[in-house]
Structures are given as structure tokens and as C-alpha cells.
Amino acid sequence: MEFTAQQIADLLNGQIEGDPTVKITKLAKIEEGVEGAISFLANPKYTQYIYSTKASLVIVNKDLVLNAPVSATLVRVDSAERAFAKLLEMYNQVKLNKSGISKHAFISESAIIGDNIYLGEFAVIGENSKIGNNVKIYPQVYIGENVIIGDNTTLFAGVKIYSETQIGKDCIIHSGTVIGSDGFRFNPQNDNQKIPQIGNVIIADNVEIGANCAIDRATLGSTILHKGVKFDNLIHIAHNVEVGENTYIAAQCVIAGSTKIGKNCMLSGQVGIIGHLSIADNTMISAQSGISKNNLKKGEILMGSPAFEVGKYRKAYIHFRNLDAIVKRIDKLENEKKMRNF
């Protein structure tokens, strides 16, 4: 893709300074700029690079004051950060704008396929599945029987969707993720006999799931991710879990069976939550915390394992770090008391 500086300035409603005909073919950080690249300057910490960057075009704020000449052409906008984000979004849309059905893909005769879909090599769509319009299914994706996928959803290479799963509109599921695999249920009182998992997974609109996540189907009923949920990579969601709207979960979190996470929650990396709990709306959980009881108070910040309110945790941690000195002081006082009594 190639654009001129003037085309980019027009797109961003910006004011150009320098050569409007310079050609742009790539994106780069300002400190790593090369000829033909476009970058941006928003953080004052990086201002020094505006004078040395080799980028051909730099997006800057309108109020930026220059103290020396610059070689790059500039585009001045109200917010350089927002403008560059807009460019990144457009670039990504063009880059991922695939279409057509590979002759090496398999579509069941009973499947229903929408308009303008992309279906890559060795992708499989199972019996009675329904695929919406403008869906992108990358190579080696497996979609089982009776699956429903809404419009404008993207499944990247190697995603596996088990039977009965329902996925909404405008979702993104990254490579290696498995949705609808069996929940971990065995009966130790009956020779560890496996308990059949006959539920499904329901994913609402505008959900993004990172790479190599595992989302188990319900034993009965549904495992549910509500609208706007965002997952990082390497997350495990067990059977019958429900995650509320617009909740964000970072990498390596594990949520055990039948736990209910509220709306607008944020879980940092490596959080573990045991089963059958309820977590209130707007809860924030610090990294590596272990949740072992219900949290029904909205808006709390939890930390530690077992986790509790962050302010109390930090105070307790001060004492914990001084525990050895405190024990020595107590031992000394007890010995002095014994000597006095002796």
C-alpha cells in the first residue's frame, strides 16, 4: 500500500508542513523511523526523536513547538495519538480484508453460508452450521455441527469451534483458541466416571478472545461470555462460567466451574478463581491473586492469595515483611518476662 503525505493529511483533517508528495509505504516508531515510514509524536518524552528520525512523515499535535529544523514532513492534528490510532485501524482493515472460498475448504451441504465470506485453506464447516455475512474464517479452522456465527466475525487460523456453540456479531477469536471443549467433570465415587457435558458455549456480540484460550462447554445449560468481553491469551474458562459485559481478563487467568463474573470487571494476569462464586460488577483483581470466596461489594479492588481488599492487604503485607523481626521481639519479651518471674 502506498499513500502520499497529502492523502494522509486529508484523511486526518490535518495541516501539512513539508513535502506533500512524499510517498508512505510503512508504519514505524519515531525512534525507529526509516525512509518511506510514517510515525507519530504524542508523548513529550520522545520529542528529541523528531529532530533525528528518518521517518518520511510524522503526525504531531498542532501545538508542538519546534526548536530546530526537522527533515520529516509533518502533519499537524488535534491529537496525534488518536490520529495514528485511526490510521492503524484503517491499515488493519485493509490488511485483513480477505474474501473468497478456497477450493481446499470443506463446507457441509447442510450448512448455511452468508454473503462475502472468506474461507481459507483446509477450513471445515460442519453440518447444519450457520455462518453470517462478511465472516472471515482463516485456514485450518474447524467449525463443528450446529454452530452459529454472526456477521463480521473473524476466526484466525487454527481456531476450533465445537458443536452447538453460538458466536455473535463483530467478534474476533485468535489462533489456537478452542471453544466448546468438555468441562472437567468426573465422579470420584464411581471409578472416576466421566460426567457427560451436553451444554454449550454462548458468546455475545463484540467479544475478542486472545490466542490459545480454552472455553469449556457447560455440563447443562451454557457457558456465557456477554457483550464486549475482552480476553488476553492463555485463559481458561471452565464449564457454566458466566462473564459479564465489558469485563477484561488478562493472560493466564483461570476461572473454575459455575462462577459468575460481573460487568465491567478487570482481572490482571494469573488470577485464579475457584468454582461456584459470585464476583460483583466493577471489581478489579490484582495479578496472581487467588479468589476463594464471594465478592459481593461492587467496585472493590482485591489483592493477595487468598485475596481481600487492597488497602487492608497492603497494610497486612507491611507486617508480613516485618514478621521475622516481630517474632524476635516477642521472643525477647517473653524471655525477659521468664527471667523476671524466675
What residue spans define the domains of the chain? 3-95, 100-314
Question: Whole-prediction pTM value?
Answer: 0.84
* DSSP type of residue 216: E
- CATH classification (class only), 100-314: mainly beta
Give the pLDDT of residue 335.
84
Cell numbers found for residue 161: 469451534
> CB 248: neighbour CB atoms within 10 A?
17
Cα four-point dihedral sign 35, 41, 44, 50? positive
Give the pLDDT of residue 116.
96
Residues of the chain with pLDDT under 70: 342
Contact 23, 2 (CB under 8 A): yes
Give the pLDDT of residue 101.
96
Record: fold of 3-95: 3.40.1390
**At 209, which amino acid appears?**
I
Pairing, β 3-4 against β 23-24: antiparallel
Nearest C-alpha neighbor of 109 from the set 93, 127, 130, 92: 127
Pairing, β 15-17 against β 23-24: unpaired
Give the pLDDT of residue 342.
65
Q: What are phi and psi of 282, to 5 degrees?
A: 65, 20
Cα–Cα distance measured from residue 243 to residue 225, given in angstroms and rounded to the nearest whole number: 5
**Angle (deg, nearest 10), helices 5-12 and 80-95:** 110
Residue keyed to cell 457427560: 196
Q: Residues with catalytic annotation?
A: 239
